[in-house]
């Protein structure tokens, strides 16, 4: 093992929780729950492989948080009642058996919900037609419907959904909570200039648009004692190349606000984690998060597929590197790196035609 690889394999803490190394599995929706949102045996076996393969931390796929507007996809898992929460136990136990930790990613789809068994309509910060098209590999088709502007009561319900789901997740054995504030879902819709046109306390300039993520964080924080982090991105599943109009000032507003709020960690995701965040700029989003949230543990994600890149991202200021596609191709990525074995290339066929977990993934 060379000196660089050593750094990736040192243990460290988030909010008092020790993680055995710097490798995390990025959250990935695999639409493999039962139709009623309960996790399945297939999912337990799927997550177990990453723990056995040496990852220190697994972040689950986005889990919906209430029985009104949160669900985004058919066969997405939820954690909205005791039955769903108890069905997560075998997943958590399987991961713990191999010495890894697992955080529940809590997600409200908002305006880009494309499959919700509780409602036929969607809500967003404002009645703004989402860009892009629904994802076919999650059973969607065509444009997103026009959402209704979420009411004050519905905002309160959504926040309560995050908080009570977090409490159920901890009771089911999860080691931490990740609030999904990225990739175009409800929290990111509130953060986004064009999606949030509100003039009440949930809208305004960039700092004012962080009101909703702060409220969600505070409600979750009040319910649980485990690490509670927030995932942040510029790009969205329905608007890949979106950039913050205020550039570094927006980064300062968003990361600075999260640091002030006391989040346990920030998880940033970009297409390529090491590239400059803004055209003509120098700094990556990793570097900007490090600058404006200097003491907050930082997970970085995006395009990392080998040890050298992982090390580079740590050197830019991250404490952990989260792998998505590289983890799908190599559920034992950390063990392979440690043994100086080659890593396999990602085969997109795994995610088609539907992104559900395939038998071939569980065969090894």
* Binding interface with ligand FMN (CB under 6 A): 26-29, 61-62, 105, 180, 182-183, 231, 269, 301-304, 323-326, 351, 355
Four-point Cα dihedral 234, 236, 242, 247, nearest 10:
-10
Euclidean distance between CA atoms 75 and 132, whole angstroms:
22
Euclidean distance between CA atoms 159 and 65, whole angstroms:
9
**In the complex, what is the shortest distance from the CB of residue 101 to ligand FMN, in angstroms, rounded to a whole number?**
17
Q: Which residues contact 144 (CB under 8 A, 6 or more apart)?
A: 111, 112, 114, 122, 129, 130, 132, 133, 134, 238
Place of tokens 């050298």: 308
**In the complex, what is the shortest distance from the CB of residue 350 to ligand FMN, in angstroms, rounded to a whole number?**
8
Other C-beta atoms closer than 10 Å to the C-beta of 214 total: 16
Smaller CB separation from ligand FMN, 19 or 28: 28
Smaller CB separation from ligand FMN, 23 or 198: 23
Smaller CB separation from ligand FMN, 171 or 351: 351
**Which pairs count as long-range contacts for 170-173, CB under 8 Å and 24+ apart, including other chains?**
170/224, 170/225, 170/226, 171/85, 172/79, 172/85, 172/86, 172/88, 172/89, 172/92, 173/88, 173/89, 173/92, 173/93, 173/96
**In the complex, what is the shortest distance from the CB of residue 144 to ligand FMN, in angstroms, rounded to a whole number?**
17
**In the complex, what is the shortest distance from the CB of residue 176 to ligand FMN, in angstroms, rounded to a whole number?**
15
User: First and final CA of the chain: distance in angstroms?
Assistant: 25
**In the complex, what is the shortest distance from the CB of residue 199 to ligand FMN, in angstroms, rounded to a whole number?**
29
In eight-state DSSP terms, residue 111 is G
**In the complex, what is the shortest distance from the CB of residue 205 to ligand FMN, in angstroms, rounded to a whole number?**
25
Euclidean distance between CA atoms 212 and 162, whole angstroms:
12
Other C-beta atoms closer than 10 Å to the C-beta of 151 total: 10
Cβ pair 201, 159 in contact under 8 A: no
Euclidean distance between CA atoms 170 and 88, whole angstroms:
11
Q: Which residue is nearest to ligand FMN (CB)?
A: 324
Which residues does the annotation mark as catalytic? Answer: 185
């Amino acid at each position: 093992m060379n000196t660089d690889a050593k750094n990736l394999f040192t243990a460290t803490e988030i909010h008092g929780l020790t993680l055995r190394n710097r490798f995390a599995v990025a959250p990935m929706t695999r639409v493999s729950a039962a139709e009623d949102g309960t996790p399945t045996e297939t999912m337990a076996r799927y997550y177990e492989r990453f723990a056995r393969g040496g990852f220190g931390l697994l972040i689950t796929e986005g889990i919906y948080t209430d029985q009104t507007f949160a669900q985004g996809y058919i066969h997405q898992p939820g954690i909205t009642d005791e039955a769903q929460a108890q069905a997560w136990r075998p997943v958590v136990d399987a991961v713990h058996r191999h010495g890894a930790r697992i955080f529940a990613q809590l997600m409200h789809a908002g305006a880009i919900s494309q499959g919700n068994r509780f409602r036929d309509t969607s809500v967003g910060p404002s009645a703004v037609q989402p860009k892009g098209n629904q994802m076919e590999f999650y059973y969607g088709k065509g444009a997103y419907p026009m959402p209704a502007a979420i009411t004050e009561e519905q905002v309160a319900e959504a926040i309560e959904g995050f908080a009570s789901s977090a409490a159920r997740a901890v009771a089911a054995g999860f080691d931490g909570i990740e609030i999904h504030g990225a990739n175009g879902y409800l929290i990111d819709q509130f953060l986004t200039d064009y999606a949030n046109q509100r003039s009440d306390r949930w809208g305004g300039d960039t700092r004012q648009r962080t009101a909703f993520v702060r409220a969600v964080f505070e409600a979750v924080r009040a319910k649980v004692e485990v690490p509670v982090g927030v995932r942040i991105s510029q790009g969205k599943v329905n608007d890949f190349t979106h950039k913050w109009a205020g550039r570094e000032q927006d980064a300062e507003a968003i990361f600075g606000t999260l640091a002030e709020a006391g989040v346990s960690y920030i998880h940033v995701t970009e297409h390529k984690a090491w590239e400059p965040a803004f055209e003509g700029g120098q700094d990556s989003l990793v570097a900007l998060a490090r600058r404006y949230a200097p003491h907050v543990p930082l997970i970085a994600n995006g395009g990392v597929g080998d040890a050298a890149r992982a090390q580079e991202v740590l050197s830019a200021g991250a404490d952990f590197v989260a792998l998505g596609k590289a983890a799908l191709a190599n559920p034992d990525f950390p063990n392979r790196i440690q043994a100086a074995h080659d890593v396999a290339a990602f085969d997109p066929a795994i995610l088609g035609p539907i992104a559900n977990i395939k038998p071939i993934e569980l065969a090894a």
